[in-house]
Structure 1
Amino acid sequence: MTLAQARAAGFTVHEVQRLCRAGRWRALARGGYLVDADAYDGIPRRARIRAAVASFGPGAAAVLGTAAELHRIDGLPRSELIHLSVPGSASRPVRDSHPEVVVHQLVIGPGQFGRVAGIMATDAMRTVTDLVLREERYCAVSLLDSALNRRLLSPVDLERMPSLFRGRRGAVAARRYLAEANGLAQSPLETRTRLRCVDGGIAPDVLQIEVRDGDGYLLGIGDLGWRAARVVAEADGRHAHGGPAALFADRHRQNRLVNAGWTVLRFTWSDTLRPDYIPWMVRSAVTARRPPSGRPGS
């Protein structure tokens, strides 16, 4: 709640100050307060963003990584910074009162922003466009994949995006990233695993591969697949695969796939930090499934 909203609701400045001293309200930014602060364990992230946007006036909007966070578009490293765009002279940084806020002055068209969770922010198209131009390849493709997977962007939007790149720094690389986007990837880890395979010359031929038995019964779905070699790779993210139920389900599915004659490889985030490891493991598995030279079927 802003101070203006509090006064409109009948609170005096003295009453707001008293609530803050009592710990029931907490000042978050210039003229912004977290109501019922004692009910929270810490300050909710969205409350910080909302207060920062409100403190810079009606022209402010969340942009870049903060807008992606509000849209729940994955692919960027976690950050406590809040990126805002503020028009005119208000765009000058105010680091003393807002140490976590990074203020930009972006030219945003009237149709390129709106409210996300009640907070003014650039829309998904503008957010991804701005970030793809600024980020390195793995982050950029992860952002594109996430936005496509969540249906915040469509293939038609990707066809339009180069026109938004035109004349901006990073446009040449950004156009290449568009060609690598795939909305079937369900997490940045899957995207990074795929890109490591692409860079290593052993790209998967299918994502979210369905493996069925002779009767058509679904044995499992793999993140990345090499059908001819009957090899599946799984990207084991901490959130999706960390709980006991998920671990048991993963083991049961893996057993079904192995019994059906498939090789199952599992990769984690740390594996993607090693450029050669994932493609080497996949190539070794694919090679092991090929019949030796000179034998029937070779």
Structure 2
Amino acid sequence: MHQLKLGPGDVGAVAGLPVTTPVRTVADVILRADRYPAVCVLDAALNRQLIDESDLSLVAALIARRRGAVAARRCLAESDGRAQSPLETRVRLRCVDGGVPPDALQLEVRDEDGYLLGVGDLGWRGARVIAEADGQTPHQTPQAIYEDRRRQNRLTNAGWTVLRFTWPDTLRPDYIPHTVARALRRPR
């Protein structure tokens, strides 16, 4: 049995039901979740603007001296609100763990006239490599497939290598970093 001590600023209401605030909820979740889900929760809360960068210090204060605080602080350091889905977060963490961290998230690629060719989920600018995290739902319609292909063709014609990863790819710790590392080593 656990007893949760809540302060006056830790509780709000949704549809008349008492709920903990986003800051408190994030703090409680990252104390109990493994690294990948914890960073996904942080990224999603930041991306959806449920919390902002300044709230991370409040989360740090809430987790202080609690069981799991050391690991949770590491998750705070890895959070990035530019990730637009848990899949993007997982791909990024696999790259970090495999020694090939991206130097950009949501990388805009433009031609010499400034025309936007596409936005890559993760990018390595020097090697001109983009990694796309292709979730099943957003990329399954015929229209989305055609748009993805056109965008990939524009990027490829501009000299970029586009790698595509799915959720099952994130379940194999070595696959994503190995694939990215090979693309990074390829001469331009």
Aligned length: 188
Cα deviation for residue 163 of structure 1 reads 1.3
Q: Secondary structure of the equivalent of 2:162? A: strand
Partner of 1:254: 152
Letter in 1 for 2:143: A
Distance in 2 between residues matched to 1:155 and 1:245, nearest whole Å: 35
- Which of 1 and 2 has higher RCO (CA within 8 Å, sep 6+)? 2
2:17 is the alignment partner of 1:119: yes
Distance in 1 between residues matched to 2:53 and 2:24, nearest whole Å: 15
Partner of 2:119: 221
TM-score, normalisation: structure 2: 0.96
Cα deviation for residue 121 of structure 1 reads 1.2
Question: How much identity, in percent, do the aligned residues show?
Answer: 64
Alignment partner of 1:208 out of 69, 86, 106: 106
Partner of 1:131: 29
Cα deviation for residue 239 of structure 1 reads 1.8
Q: Secondary structure of the equivalent of 1:270? A: helix
Q: Secondary structure of the equivalent of 2:99? A: coil
Partner of 1:32: none
Partner of 1:242: 140
Distance in 2 between residues matched to 1:177 and 1:254, nearest whole Å: 32
Distance in 2 between residues matched to 1:152 and 1:235, nearest whole Å: 23
User: What runs of 5+ residues in structure 2 fail to find an aligned partner?
Assistant: none
2:55 is the alignment partner of 1:165: no
Letter in 2 for 1:244: P
| 1:198-255 per-position Cα deviation (integer Å, ceiling 9, x unaligned) | 0000000000000000111000000000000000000001122122221111111001
2:8 is the alignment partner of 1:110: yes
Distance in 1 between residues matched to 2:15 and 2:152, nearest whole Å: 39
Distance in 2 between residues matched to 1:136 and 1:195, nearest whole Å: 13
User: What runs of 5+ residues in structure 1 fail to find an aligned partner?
Assistant: 1-91, 93-103, 291-298
Partner of 1:193: 91
Q: Which moved more, 1:108-117 or 1:149-158?
A: 108-117
The answer to whether the 8 Å contact 2:26/2:59 transfers is: no
Change (3 A) 1:262 1:167: same
Distance in 2 between residues matched to 1:260 and 1:160, nearest whole Å: 44
Distance in 1 between residues matched to 2:137 and 2:9, nearest whole Å: 35
Letter in 2 for 1:185: A
Supply the RMSD in Å over aligned alpha carbons. 1.3
TM superposition outliers: structure 1 runs of 4+ over 6 Å = none
The answer to whether the 8 Å contact 2:103/2:124 transfers is: yes
Partner of 2:176: 278
Q: Which has the larger radius of gyration?
A: 1
The answer to whether the 8 Å contact 2:44/2:81 transfers is: yes
